[in-house]
Amino acid sequence: MEKKELICIGCPMGCPITVTLDNGAIVEVTGNTCPRGKSYAEKEVTNPTRIVTSTVRVEGGERPLVSVKTKEDVPKDKIFACMEEINAAVAKAPIKIGDVILENVAGTGIPVVATKADAAC
Amino acid sequence: MKTYDIVIVGGGPAGLAAAASAKKAGIDSILILERDKELGGILNQCIHNGFGLHTFKEELTGPEYAGRFIDVVKELGIEYLLNTMVMDISGDKIVTAMNRTDGMFQVQAKAVILAMGCRERSRGALNIPGYRPAGIFSAGTAQRLVNMEGYMPGREVVILGSGDIGLIMARRMTLEGAKVKVVAELMPYSGGLKRNIVQCLNDYGIPLKLSHTVVDIRGKERLEGITLAQVDEKGKPIPGTEEDYTCDTLLLSVGLIPENELSRGMGVEMDSVTSGPVVNESLETSIPGVFACGNVLHVHDLVDYVSEEAGRAGVNAAKFVKGELSEGGKDIPLIATSGARYTVPRHINVDKMDDLLTVRFRVGAVFKDSYISVYYNDERIMHRKKQVMAPGEMEEIILQKEKLAAYPDLQSITVKIESE
């Protein structure tokens, strides 16, 4: 039996959660005070994911950069692969919030979208 | 002189929410004065996600969260001026401001909403010994440089202070290729949100050293390194615990201070704990018709609470303009003690309050399995258990008008933290 200690991030409470695993299968989740804690812990030990937020260079815009995010969570171990592609990308103004900057970042199938508008200048 | 019903100082999350709610409450003559070149305030540089879980039930980035409120303000046709710095507000609500187009100008307001936000504590406030080389930034300055201007402040980073901006910048600098060697925190606990410690430090293997501080700074032109030392329970460095780190960048995330020069200038009564104005149940300061909301009032943990609070300030300013903010009635003080550091508001008038009133406060230390207790005079009327309370997170209690009005001879309301 393996035990993993986590801090729940579902709310400011930050419950300390212990997940007991048997050959990778979840046996028990303790320490959570609500169902969200349980599902967070289950996901975190089996398939941890994150939204990646960064900036992309802009051509012809009012500002040098536009802020972006992965539209959905990407696998945690793909974060730096996403960053490489985000850093190589260039967006062309005008840009609206939600515009797709990269269609499929780091082979995740998930697009990178703008989180800020930039009018052309 | 031009006259407006409501002048709002600051076009960040507080000013935007206040403006929208005042307009919806029936006030057409509103002016927002913003010193930056765009609306949105600090949210424009907070490109990370996690905003709006309470308000929109989804995780937005800072610019997206601001964007929603900016859209509302524009749809409502609320007037605003950018690149405009407010220089002074007089006690009779004449606002003096300047910008490049209009020069210096004055407007007369019937009501004023203070929404100037806060700014970061600087190195000067910490008395760190050592040289003064380039490479020492407040975390928020670095955030603006990286996220808005496109500059990396450095490659080898040490962060002092574990406030949320410091934690967020630890991740951000790491993602952009810098090596963040350590985050040092003077206190025995972090001032940041749990999710930020997990997702910004633990995810990237960045060590958090609690009860540690910077005791030396090296480098004449450019920062070359710093020395960390452990501190005792009084915050004094313990000899023999010094550790040297080479770094070209030191980020300071050591607290936020409400920016109240204008408030002080107009003679508003200030709260020495929050460094913000003292306000009543209507978020009205000691000057009638002058309201405060957001981080200028007290530093918030979540922007959702800023928007909610600012919305109330907007509604109350609208009531004031329309003469609906009744006068009279008795002010009852709220007393924060035994672990509760302050309350906002600090006094309430039961006649003027809504049916439910949210009172927000922070605790002064980490409390586990403790109770938030509320006393009317000497009688405990509320006793709620919390598993964890920490200074980095705001707490709240909700007061009911019905119960307060029914309480005989109410002289004071006390909020305290109790172990049982």
Residues B157/B139, Cβ–Cβ less than 8 Å: no
Among the partner residues A63, A80, A97, nearest to B64 by beta-carbon distance: A97
Interface check B387 vs A, CB under 8 A:
yes
How far is it, in rounded angstroms, from Cα A116 to Cα B13?
15
A50: chain B residues, CB-CB within 8 Å: 199, 203
Tokens for A41?
A: 């812990």
Write out the DSSP string of B243-303.
EEEE-SEEEE---EEE--HHHHHTT--B-TTTSSB--BTTSB-SSTTEEE-GGGTS--S-H
Residue ranges of B 288-327 with Cβ closer than 8 A to chain A? 301
Could you tell me whether strands B347-349 and B379-389 are parallel, antiparallel, or unpaired per DSSP bridges?
A: unpaired
Helix (H) or strand (E) holding A40: helix A35-46
Residues B267/B91, Cβ–Cβ less than 8 Å: yes
List the one residue out of B49, B86, B45, B44 whose CA is nearest residue B69. B44
Residues B296/B271, Cβ–Cβ less than 8 Å: no
In this predicted model, what pLDDT tens digit does every residue of B293-352 receive, in sequence order?
999 999 998 999 999 999 999 999 999 999 998 777 889 999 999 999 999 999 999 988
The interface pTM score, or ipTM, of the predicted complex is 0.91
Question: Taking 80 as the threshold, does the pLDDT of residue A12 lie above it?
Answer: no
Question: What letter represents residue A80's amino acid?
Answer: F
In this predicted model, what pLDDT tens digit does every residue of B170-189 receive, in sequence order?
999 999 999 999 999 999 98
A25 to chain B nearest CA, in Å? Answer: 22
B48: chain A residues, CB-CB within 8 Å: 53
List the one residue out of B409, B410, B413 whose CA is nearest residue B397. B413
The pLDDT-based confidence of B393 (bands split at 50, 70, 90) is: confident
In this predicted model, what pLDDT tens digit does every residue of A38-75 receive, in sequence order?
999 999 999 999 999 999 999 999 999 999 999 999 99
Half-sphere exposure of B176 (CA within 13 A, CB side): 23
pLDDT on residue B387: 82
**Plot region of B369 (φ>0 → left; ψ -120 to 50 → alpha; else → beta):** left
A52: chain B residues, CB-CB within 8 Å: 175
Bridge partners of B183, per DSSP, are B159, B208
Give A73-77's long-range contacts (Cβ < 8 A, gap of 24+): A73/A49, A73/A110, A74/A49, A74/A50, A74/A105, A74/A106, A74/A108, A74/A110, A75/A47, A75/A48, A75/A49, A75/A108, A76/A48, A76/A49, A76/A50, A76/B203
How far is it, in rounded angstroms, from Cα B4 to Cα B26?
14
Write out the DSSP string of B352-387.
TS-SEEEEEE-BSS-EEEEEEEEEETTEEEEEEEEE
Interface mutation vs chain B, best among A5, A116, A118, most B CBs within 10 Å = A116
Interface check B44 vs A, CB under 8 A:
yes
Please tell me whether the peptide bond between B333 and the residue prior to it is cis, using omega within 30 degrees of 0. no
Question: Taking 80 as the threshold, does the pLDDT of residue B93 lie above it?
Answer: yes
B383 to chain A nearest CA, in Å? Answer: 18
Tokens for B409?
A: 């001879």
